[in-house]
Structure 1
Amino acid sequence: MASIGPNELFFLMQGLKWTIALTLIGFAGGGVFGLLVALARTAEVPSIRRATAGYIAVFQGTPLLMQLFVVYYGVALLGFNIDAWIAVAIAFTLHASAFLGEIWRGGIQAVPRGQTEAARALGLHYRSIMKDVVLPQALRISLPATIGFLVQLIKGTSLAAIVGFVELSRAGQIVSNQTFRPLTVFAIVGLIYFLICWPLSLWGAGVEKRLQTAAR
């Protein structure tokens, strides 16, 4: 059995780099589209609400692994030859937008209706009501759930290996095959995931506790 040296650890760090990059792209892109989904879910037009409810149902009701397959191979069937990196980024953005949209929809609806009615009475338009009154409170209310989803998204990036994307888990598999030390390699990989996700989980729990204290 080969030893795990600096080269193997460097390769794992390269995989970690792509895991973090994919998480940031998926979360940022999902945040932008998720906000639009949340606004559509709370719109006054029933057809818009139903359409976005269907969108959310599709992505929440199907495995992320299947979504990666559909985007990667589906785009190829349409005649577009895209890199695995782009396909995975699109899939994670769509996936995150559905979940974040539903999380933030709950936050928007948790804001007391009286505040919206008071803002309308003052003559504020919909954009100002959302930007200045509703969304700041809604995002604060939904922050613990948002952080929880971020943790899930980080761990979910391991599924990207199925379409040939080399992130942390796939890098660990490659190193394991080269060194024949699967327990040691995946213990290191698991520790890296833990060191990333555990502080975020503590942060989310702390935010939730502060919100509960403030609500009393």
Structure 2
Amino acid sequence: MGRDEIIFLLIGLKWTIALSIVGFVCGCIAGLFIALARTSGVRVVEGLTAGYIAVFQGTPLLMQLFVVYYGLALIGIKVDAWLAVAVGLTLHASAYLGEIWRGAIEAVPQGQTEASKALALSYSSRMKDIILPQALRISLPATIGFLVQLIKGTSLASIVGFTELTRAGNIISNQIFQPLTVFGIVGILYFIMCCPLTIYGAHLERKFAAQAR
């Protein structure tokens, strides 16, 4: 392992972080709409979003990336690997985060909703000022836990030819024939990214549990 190999791994790390940020941020935005749709009380909307969640939770992320990358090409829409993976991760994240936040919204005491309706607050005001702030707090540990899974899930981007951290490690391993060293370093880099988030999520879970008692 020389200087050039380390730099190449760090470039792969950069793209892993970028993919994680894009997938998580866009997934959060889409997931919020899905959560609101799932709790809207409109049966058709709730059914459609429940089906969407079931599809993405019931199929492997690897298959979803394949469908986005190769499926779009079959219908004449050509996208590069970066965009395909970003879209695939966004769709995947939106389904999981939407369900996490749906559970958090429903975990807010029903009395909060009834009180806000008694005050004649509009739906948007009720959600923005009363329900969502409480739901966000409830969902934080699970959301952070999903972010950790998403970071590790970016390693599947290599299957469609995108060079992130895992594929960078594979390329270097094939060049210098030191797989244990290379993937040991790759594992350490993933650990550095994920471990602080895992610890923080566990800390929040313990803190909120203590406050609830």
Shift of 1:85: 0.5
**Superposed, which structure 2 residues align to 1:86-165 within 5 Å?**
86-165=83-162
The Cα of 1:77 is off from its aligned counterpart by: 1.2
Count of residue pairs the alignment pairs up: 213
Corresponding residue number in structure 1 for 2:9 = 12
- Alpha-carbon separation, structure 1, partners of 2:97 and 2:3: 39
Amino acid of the structure 2 residue aligned with 1:45? V
Q: Amino acid of the residue matched to residue 138 of structure 1?
A: A
> Structure 1, unaligned stretches of length 5 or more?
none
Partner Cα distance (1:70, 1:87) in 2: 9
In structure 2, C-alpha distance between the alignment counterparts of 1:174 and 1:65, rounded to whole Å: 20
% identical aligned pairs: 67
Given the two structures, how large is their TM-score scaled by the length of structure 2?
0.99
Which aligned pairs between 1:45-64 and structure 2 lie closer than 5 A?
Answer: 45-64=42-61
Q: Aligned partner of 1:203: which letter?
A: Y
Cα deviation, residue 78, structure 1: 1.5
Superposed structure 1 runs of 4+ greater than 2 Å apart:
none
Q: Deviations over 1:49-89 (max 9, x none)?
A: 11100000000000000000000011111211111100110
1:69 aligns with 2:66: yes
Compare 73-82 and 197-206 and name the one that shifted more.
Answer: 73-82
Shift of 1:124: 0.3
Q: Distance in 1 between matches of 2:79 and 2:147?
A: 26
Q: Name the CA distance, whole Å, in 1 between partners of 2:60 and 2:77.
A: 24
Q: How far apart, CA to CA, are the structure 1 residues paired with 2:122 and 2:96?
A: 28
Distance 1:176 1:101 in 2: 38
1:167 Cα deviation (Å)? 0.3
Query: 1:213 Cα deviation (Å)?
Result: 0.6
Alignment equivalent of 1:27, drawn from 15, 24, 27? 24
- What is the alpha-carbon distance in structure 2 between the residues aligned to residue 96 and residue 168 of structure 1? 20
